[in-house]
Amino acid sequence: MLAVSFSSCRQLSTDSKVLINEVMMQNENNATDEYGDHSPWVELFVKYYGQIDVAGYILEAQPEGGQAKQYTIPKGDQVTIVPARQHIVLWADNHPKKGVLHTDFTLDPNVKTTIRLYNSNKDLIDEVTIPAGKLKADQSYGRKDQTMTERGDENWEVKDNNTDDDAYVTPNTSNKVNDVNVKMVTFREKDPAGIGMAITAMTVVFSCLILLFFAFTLQAKISMNMAKKNELKAQAGSDKPAPASDKKAGETPGEVYAAIGMALHEMQNDIHDVEDMVLTIHTDPKVEESAWSNKAFAMRQIPVRK
């Protein structure tokens, strides 16, 4: 079972994460590279929902009856990191010194050529064969639907910008460029005022809130029951009397009644002292200055000058 799982995971992780999406063998007036030159190009598409570094991948071009030429994409350059569901163009101009995206071979439109793509483990992950004379100048050979990963000529077509159909040459972009969003148009037709969307959104939100309320309530009850059970177990194992929290709800302790009775008794018997609130100051006639105004008893002592 482990062997099967490992082999299946390896196949999924390497097979068709990156595809050959579009090829132009004779470029006269189409896309230009960073130097402004028109060169044949091969477009790759990352169908994986995460960025992939194509450094170490191998692009191979084998003419019919000729020797296959391979170009390994060098490592160490950020341009080889392709975001999820995006494209990257390799220029088949036989000038690898121009950059990591320039191969050391070129393409001949008059010769049947098979283009293969290998990952860094040298596993074949995609290939396409372009018949001799299939493509004219500025025409490309691309997938009809780039989401389809099956190999075969039935998923490929000739793309030309000079025709009236929607098969455009699209380097570095999706093969199908839609003028409108079909889903948005359908939704606008079925719900022009947006009432259905509003009701659906509110239903989802309030349903989630209700579910959260019941979930938290149930969790609180379970926690309280577990706490009570643990407390009862702890009391059963000790000889201490049950605390006041274990008494029945609504039962008033005797200490409360005793305190109330003592307060009523004290108020009825009026045992508090009665003060007349009169202060009398007696002065001493033998003393010229009263002690109440004597500076000697002041909190702040003034130093004596000599």
SS3 label, residue 264: helix
State yes or no: pLDDT of 3 exceeds 70.
Answer: no
Residues of the chain with pLDDT > 90: what percent?
A: 51
Q: What is the pTM of this model?
A: 0.57
Domain ranges in the chain are 11-177, 179-238
How far is CA 162 from each of CA 139, 210, 299, rounded to the nearest angstrom?
A: 9, 59, 108
Q: Specify the pLDDT at position 270.
A: 66
Query: If you average pLDDT over residues 217-240, what whole number do you get?
Result: 84
- Name which of 47, 40, 60 is nearest 19 in CA terms: 47
Read off φ and ψ for residue 201, nearest 5 degrees: -65, -45
- Using a 10 angstrom Cβ sphere, with 0-12 exposed, 13-18 middle and 19 or more buried, the burial of residue 43 is buried
Q: Specify the pLDDT at position 262.
A: 86
Query: If you average pLDDT over residues 123-130, what whole number do you get?
Result: 94
Q: What stretch of H or E contains 267?
A: helix 254-269
| 55-69, 188-202, 240-254: range with lowest mean pLDDT | 240-254
State yes or no: pLDDT of 69 exceeds 80.
Answer: yes
Token digits of residue 97: 């010194």
The whole-angstrom distance between residue 267's C-alpha and the CA centroid of its chain comes to 71
Token digits of residue 54: 């194509």
Q: Which residues contact 284 (CB under 8 A, 6 or more apart)?
A: 290, 291
Q: Specify the pLDDT at position 142.
A: 92
Residues of the chain with pLDDT > 70: what percent?
A: 74
CA geometry: angle 155, 139, 122, nearest 5 deg: 55
State yes or no: pLDDT of 214 exceeds 70.
Answer: yes
CA atoms within 13 A on the CB side of 118: 14
What amino acid occupies position 28?
E
How does the average pLDDT of the chain come out, rounded? Answer: 82
Query: If you average pLDDT over residues 287-302, what whole number do you get?
Result: 62
Tens digit of each residue's pLDDT (9 = 90 or more) over 233-246: 887 766 555 555 55
Token digits of residue 305: 């000058």
| 85-89, 132-136, 138-142, 254-258: range with lowest mean pLDDT | 254-258
Read off φ and ψ for residue 103, nearest 5 degrees: -80, 170
Query: If you average pLDDT over residues 214-227, what whole number do you get?
Result: 93
Tens digit of each residue's pLDDT (9 = 90 or more) over 268-291: 776 556 666 666 666 666 655 566
State yes or no: pLDDT of 68 exceeds 80.
Answer: yes
| 15-19, 31-35, 255-259, 290-294: range with lowest mean pLDDT | 290-294
Task: Report the C-alpha gap between 70 and 148 in whole angstroms.
Answer: 25
SS3 label, residue 189: helix
**Conformational region of residue 145, where left means phi above 0, alpha means psi within -120 to 50, and beta covers everything else:** beta
How far is CA 9 from each of CA 12, 13, 49, 125, rounded to the nearest angstrom?
A: 5, 6, 16, 15
CATH class belonging to 11-177: mainly beta
| 58-67, 164-173, 289-298: range with lowest mean pLDDT | 289-298
Q: If pLDDT is split at 50, 70 and 90, which confidence band does 147 have? A: low
Q: Specify the pLDDT at position 261.
A: 86
State yes or no: pLDDT of 194 exceeds 60.
Answer: yes
Give the other-Cβ count within 10 Å of 216's Cβ.
10
CA geometry: angle 246, 250, 251, nearest 5 deg: 65
Max Cα-Cα span within the chain: 142
Question: Which residue in this structure is represented by tokens 């959104």?
Answer: 201
β-bridge mates for residue 36, sequence order: none
Tens digit of each residue's pLDDT (9 = 90 or more) over 177-193: 666 677 788 888 888 88
Query: If you average pLDDT over residues 59-88, what whole number do you get?
Result: 95
Q: If pLDDT is split at 50, 70 and 90, which confidence band does 167 have? A: confident
Are 156 and 43 in contact by the 8 Å Cβ rule? The answer is no
